[in-house]
Amino acid sequence: MSNNILDKIFADKQKELAGTKCNLPLPELKTRIGDQAPVRDVFQALNVGKNSKIIAEIKRRTPFKGELRENFNAAEIAGDYARNGAATLSILTESNYFGSHIGILEEVRPIAPIPLLRKDFICDEYQVYESRAHGADLFLLIATWLDQNQLTDLLSLGKELGLPALVETHNEYDMEKAFEAKASLIGINNRDLTNGKTDLNIARRLIPMALQEPGNTLVCESGISGRKEIEEFEEIGAHAFLIGESLMTSKDIPEKLKELLGNEPTNKS
């Protein structure tokens, strides 16, 4: 077992899951799914219309950068994102390293009428049901960590529940796994989750590869801080951008989001 942060996060997640399953057994979760509103369509959100598509992320802290925002208020941030043009929200729900919890999905859902991505370290079928039961519209699968069978099975279970998965890749091998699993929503993460380093050349290299399979929706993730990068990656084929830190650390979230979308900032008199 290599001693990297990604392995550590997943190991702790698996320990934590045992308790979660006792507190809310699977049959109860399945009952809750029946009470949920219909899933919001992420493919439509990311593909319809001419403007840039941003998946705006709500995260309090990261293991690499620590606390990202003082006076963190998920509901307030969600409202800012939804009003200022975000196409989808990414909501970190991991507690040990990102200081969050799955309840944030339910807090945010009434405020932001757009699809909600549950971003967590998902490795167990229980978590797929859990995502749907708490109001997520899609969930994250990390191809770097999951083996081919896990990835394929979790993706298929999501489809049965009407819940697509964003399959996140970081290299050619991950991309092959995503193709094999029949992923249609593929993320290309410029950040190496084992050490936190970010390199935009990852997307420059992998976007052309991802486009070899027609019909995929491609999301460029991590390290995007300005409009110029968005334009560059749209040009080579990215459909959407998952942006967290540059929004979360910005002094004025609405203005930063408008800038990323290419909407002229409003002059404040």
Q: How many residues does the chain have?
A: 269
Which CA distances in Å does 224 have to 90, 95, 155, 186? 15, 25, 27, 17
Taking the CA atoms of 201, 203, 207 and 209 in sequence, report the sign of the dihedral they define. positive
193: tokens are 């989750």
Whole-angstrom Cα distance, residue 104 to residue 102?
5
CA distance 245 to 159: 30
| Distance from C-alpha of 95 to C-alpha of 268, rounded to nearest angstrom | 38
Task: Report, as residue numbers or ranges, the catalytic residues.
Answer: 57, 59, 119, 168, 189, 221-222
